[in-house]
């Protein structure tokens, strides 16, 4: 279950790597051969403040 705290915010990391392979440049443009992509996410808690917020009454 995804909660409000699971959304992406500043401080979260999204690493994406990709490699596209082309055969050659033809008259109609580049000829695409292969697509290799990799994506993963990682949380960076170093910026977080783990102390609970105090509510004003």
Sheet strands (E) in 1-57: 13-26, 29-42
Strand partners, 36: 19
Cα(21)–Cα(34) distance, rounded to whole angstroms?
A: 5
User: 29-42 and 13-26 as β-strands: parallel, antiparallel, unpaired?
Assistant: antiparallel
Q: Are 37 and 15 in contact (CB under 8 A)?
A: no
pLDDT by 10s per residue, the chain, length 57: 556 566 666 666 667 777 878 787 777 787 778 887 776 666 666 666 666 666 665
**3-state DSSP assignment of residue 2:** coil
pLDDT of residue 34: 81
């Amino acid at each position: 279950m995804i909660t409000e705290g699971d959304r992406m915010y500043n401080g979260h990391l999204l690493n994406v790597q990709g490699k596209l392979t082309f055969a050659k440049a033809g008259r109609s443009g580049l000829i695409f051969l292969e697509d290799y992509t990799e994506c993963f996410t990682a949380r960076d808690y170093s910026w977080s403040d783990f102390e609970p917020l105090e509510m004003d009454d």
